[in-house]
Amino acid sequence: MVYRYNISLREEIKQIVIADLVLTTAFTLFLLGGIFDFSGKFIIEFLYFFPAMFIVVTLVFVLHELMHRQVAKKFGAVASFQYSINGLMITLATGLLGFVFGIPGATVIYTNNFTKREEGIVSLAGPLTNFAVFILFFIIYLLLPFIHSSYIDLMVTFGMFISVLLAFFNMLPIMPLDGAKVLNWDKNVYITSIIIIFILMAFSYYILVHSIISMLIEIVIMIALASFFSLFYRNVI
């Protein structure tokens, strides 16, 4: 995918919406077990869960990317969200197969003037947004005994799970992910962020999956995927 130097705001909004809808579709398919669990009620269940997943993905993914965009612009860079056609297809295909490798697009930043500090802050802005979203969902989670809604319960627990999962993946110290740039800027900030993420991940997995072993397996898978993705970035394959 060749990204353009700059796109119009209207085109950027269109690409954000498309990426949001594709990622929401993938996560909804994942929630239903993919096409392997297809049944007569599949379409009804898909339409039922889609709104909840749309809220989760919009808060977790879109806000993450927009925060990168806004902080980069604050430091004088040209920044815009742009989708990747290949990434959209991979995201949708993995959802159909019952898991999600969500790479529908990213915030593209153009500048020659970033210091290590500025690049680190821009990179950290996305994961910090995921922390804020996690806290929002956690507050709602504490209120669940008073809400009595299994639908909101699912949305909140899944929201906590996905927000911290995205934060962890992006903070892996592998280029071109955020973690490599944050580590290059300030090791203490990076280590502190990773410790917080591990604590939140353990909490999320305990609530949703009830298994820390599953978390460790997921971590290994994400590291493998990030490493494979990095090979493309570095034009090794």
Q: Which of 65, 118, 119, 218 is catalytic?
A: 65
What is the separation, in whole angstroms, between the first and last Cα of the chain?
A: 15
Q: Which residues pair with 78 in a beta bridge?
A: 110
Nearest 5°: the CA angle 33, 170, 125 is 125
- The upper half-sphere exposure of residue 223, i.e. CA atoms within 13 Å in the direction of its Cβ, equals 7
Under 8 Å between Cβ of 112 and 121: no
12 counts as catalytic: no
Under 8 Å between Cβ of 81 and 15: yes
> Could you give the CA distance from residue 122 to residue 108 in angstroms, rounded to a whole number?
12
How is residue 190 written in tokens?
């990076």
Under 8 Å between Cβ of 188 and 120: no
Under 8 Å between Cβ of 5 and 12: no
> Could you give the CA distance from residue 29 to residue 36 in angstroms, rounded to a whole number?
10
Q: What is the DSSP string of 70-114?
A: HHHHHTT-EEEEEE-HHHHHHHHHHHHTTS----SEEEEEE-S--
> Any idea which residues carry the catalytic annotation?
65
